[in-house]
Amino acid sequence: MKRRIGVLFGGRSAERDVSLMSARSIMAHLDPERYDVYPIAITPQGAWLFGPDAREALARGTLEDLTPALIPPDPTKAGLWLWKDHVLEHLTQLDVVFPVLHGPWGEDGTVQGLLELAGIPYVGAGVTASALAMDKGLFKDVMRAHGLPVVPYRVFTRAQWRRSPEAVLDASEALGPYPLFTKPANLGSSIGITKAKHRAQLRAGLDEAARYDRRLLVEVGIPAREIEVSILGNDDPQASIPGEIVPADEFYTYQAKYFDDRSQLLIPAPLPPHLAQRARELALAAYQAIDARGMARVDFLLHRETGELYISEINTIPGFTPISMYPKLWEASGLSYPALLDRLIELALEDR
Ligand SMILES: Nc1ncnc2c1ncn2[C@@H]1O[C@H](COP(=O)(O)OP(=O)(O)O)[C@@H](O)[C@H]1O
Ligand SMILES: [Mg+2]
């Protein structure tokens, strides 16, 4: 029998456009002989809508033909329901849900919590790992507790920033020399991130980050090459070969990530074997330190002068177009894009 796969995409986070790109490729590559795919569009307001062409409808903003849908948290009423003329209709059970949602309200444990309550297996990390990977500050706290290398950083709340800006600026500058990076703790795709070269830019960067989150991260900027490793698996995860990003911008900005075709992916990363090996080992250690599951992409900063590797972040729902680093690294390691999807669905179905 075919497996029934719910695919969630769009969503309330600022990364919704990236989700739409990932979801298009995932749905196009799920083998129709093996899977019945149920696309569920989440609007920027958070409305859940079902329809065979839900992705295109959400991308175009033509939502009239879609039907309000929900997955209730109640496992005795499991599956996908449609809401027609004030009446709930059970459309189907779901064997697996693939949350193709980047950023808050999707990659951060919230949707994972709903699916846990509903008793529906899902692709990728569980509640705790998702939440830890989403919060760049807590993530680095866990790395540090495990003795894993991260650059010097501090977390401030928006309230602290508003109440005592000079103290926050002083504490940030005490971390190390400029440039300093300012980031919203819970976001991705470089949204809200600033590379500050002096105090005025640091101030502006903290204001910018505070637009997106109540937790603000400041970290020492290093002259870095950007190395990424894909991880796949549950209790016995495997690491891909490392890849390298060569951003077209001064750092890997939103523009450089998705719109500038001068940004390059080097696969494999041109690294001496001992560094490639160290990146894979650190990636696995980071993955296991947060108890991730299914998949994740672990990103590193490789200091150009000292050769030191620092763990930068983990993405538990990495970009997933055929030209995205996560699937490309597996392809280069011998696992095709469709075979990777099959594997992720199998991993979702393993016992938790
Ligand atoms: N400490 C740092 N030193 C040098 N570059 C950095 C540093 N932190 C971030 N960057 C640059 O900013 C980009 C985005 O930062 P990152 O922490 O990966 O956030 P996101 O989750 O938005 O991808 C990185 O890919 C890198 O180009
Ligand atoms: Mg990143």
Q: What CATH number is given to the structural domain containing 279?
A: 3.30.470.20
Q: What is the value of pTM for the model shown?
A: 0.94
Q: How far away, in angstroms, is 252 Cα from ligand 1 center?
A: 7
Closest C-alpha residue for ligand 1 atom 21: 188
Can you read off the two tokens belonging to residue 2?
């075919």
Please indicate, yes or no, whether residues 14 and 113 belong to a single structural domain of this protein: yes
* Whether residue 292 sits in one domain with residue 271: yes
Give, for ligand 1, the residue of 102, 197, 312 to mutate: max count of ligand atoms closer than 8 Å to Cβ.
Answer: 312
Tokens 């890997």 -> residue: 252
| Residues 144 and 250 placed together within one structural domain of the fold | yes
CATH number assigned to the domain comprising residue 82: 3.40.50.20
Query: Last residue of some domain: 220, 241, 266?
Result: 220
Q: Predicted confidence band at 104 (pLDDT cuts at 50, 70, 90)?
A: confident
Q: Which two tokens stand for residue 97?
A: 């849900």
The sign of the torsion formed by the CA atoms of 52, 54, 56, 60 equals: positive
Q: Do 329 and 260 share a domain, yes or no? A: yes
Whether residue 99 is contained in a domain is answered as: yes
- Can you give the CATH number for the domain in which 167 is found? 3.30.1490.20
Residues of the domain holding 71: 3-122
- Is position 302 within any domain? yes
Residue 177, pLDDT above cutoff 90: yes
Confidence of residue 254 (pLDDT cuts 50, 70, 90): confident
pLDDT band with cut points at 50, 70 and 90 for residue 54: very high
141 and 117 in a common domain: no
Q: Does 276 lie in the same domain as 137? A: yes
Let me know whether 139 and 253 are in one domain. yes
Q: What percentage of the chain exceeds 70 in pLDDT?
A: 100
* Mean of all residue pLDDT scores within the chain: 95
pLDDT greater than 80 at residue 333: yes
Which residue, of 172, 191, 220, is where some domain finishes? 220
Mutate to test the pocket of ligand 1, among 186, 193, 311, 315 (most ligand atoms within 8 A of CB): 193
Q: What Å distances lie between residue 272 and 81, 191, 242, 268, 307, CA to CA?
A: 53, 32, 11, 11, 11
Cα dihedral 169, 175, 180, 182 sign: negative
253 lines ligand 1 (CB under 6 A): no
Q: Is ligand 1 within 6 A of the CB of residue 188?
A: yes
- 199 and 257 share a domain? no
Q: Report if residue 199 sits inside a domain.
A: yes
| pLDDT at residue 253, as a whole number | 81
| Ligand that comes closest to the CA of residue 102 | 1
Does residue 282 lie within any of the structural domains? yes
pLDDT score for 259: 74
Indicate whether 213 and 235 sit together in one domain. no
Lowest mean pLDDT among 22-26, 252-256, 345-349: 252-256
Q: Of 169, 187, 220, which closes a domain?
A: 220
Both 94 and 8 in one domain: the answer is yes
Poorest-pLDDT segment among 4-8, 210-214, 280-284: 210-214
**Residue identifier of the C-alpha nearest atom 19 of ligand 1:** 190
User: 262 and 329: one domain?
Assistant: yes
Residues 140 and 262 in one domain: yes
| Structural domains of the chain, count | 3
Residue 127 lies in a domain: no
Percent of the chain with pLDDT over 90: 88
Does residue 135 have its Cβ closer than 6 Å to ligand 1?
Answer: no
